[in-house]
Amino acid sequence: MVRVKLDAIDLRILRDLQEDGRITNVDLAKRAGISPPPCLRRVRALEETGCIRGYHADLDPDVLGYGVKVFANVGLHSQAETDLLAFEQLVASWPEVRECHMLAGETDFLLKIVATNWDAYQRFLTTRLTAAPNVSVVKSALAIRSSKNLPGVPIEAEDHRQTAAG
């Protein structure tokens, strides 16, 4: 794990970018209390160290017709590293799967899957997920509503931690 030294200005930049990825460098610099050129250098350095992995738009799945969100607990027959990697590569090719987490415990993977409706999810489940090599069990949990969905990590600009994992 790479350790990156972050000062209060870096933390402020990260917090502000996480809240608004479209903020201009001029506004970001003002909020951080520095001029635009060093602000841009800091942002580039944060990108290079991997603290900032990318930028994206936060899309509303319901507005775009993806009204079904399912969390699927997936168990595999084999947990050999090659089998785990093969499953992860297969999952990466499925656009319906928005998140994939390998877990410790009874479940091998937790998948967050979106679908246009329950029938679409059932088709995905039966034709792709349960049919995938090495899959032994899938337990689906339909999300009824989401009350919190924040990207990233909690960052306080006044946070005085000197290092962060990158």
What three-state secondary structure class fits 159?
coil
Asked if the 3-57 domain carries CATH number 1.10.10.10, the reply is yes
* 3 pLDDT tier (thresholds 50, 70, 90): confident
* 158 pLDDT tier (thresholds 50, 70, 90): low
φ and ψ at residue 103, rounded to 5 degrees: -115, 160
Percent of the chain topping pLDDT 90: 88
Mean pLDDT value across residues 73-93: 98
Q: Taking the domains of the chain in order of start, what are their residue ranges?
A: 3-57, 68-142
DSSP 166: -
CATH architecture for the domain at 68-142: 2-Layer Sandwich (3.30)
More confident: 63 or 164: 63
Q: Dump pLDDT digits (tens) for 35-57.
A: 999 999 999 999 999 999 999 99
Question: Residues 73, 130: contact at Cβ < 8 Å?
Answer: no
* 1 pLDDT tier (thresholds 50, 70, 90): low
* 161 pLDDT tier (thresholds 50, 70, 90): very low
pTM attached to this predicted model? 0.84
Percent of the chain topping pLDDT 70: 93
pLDDT at residue number 157: 57
DSSP 121-148: HHHHIIIIITTSTTEEEEEEEE----S-
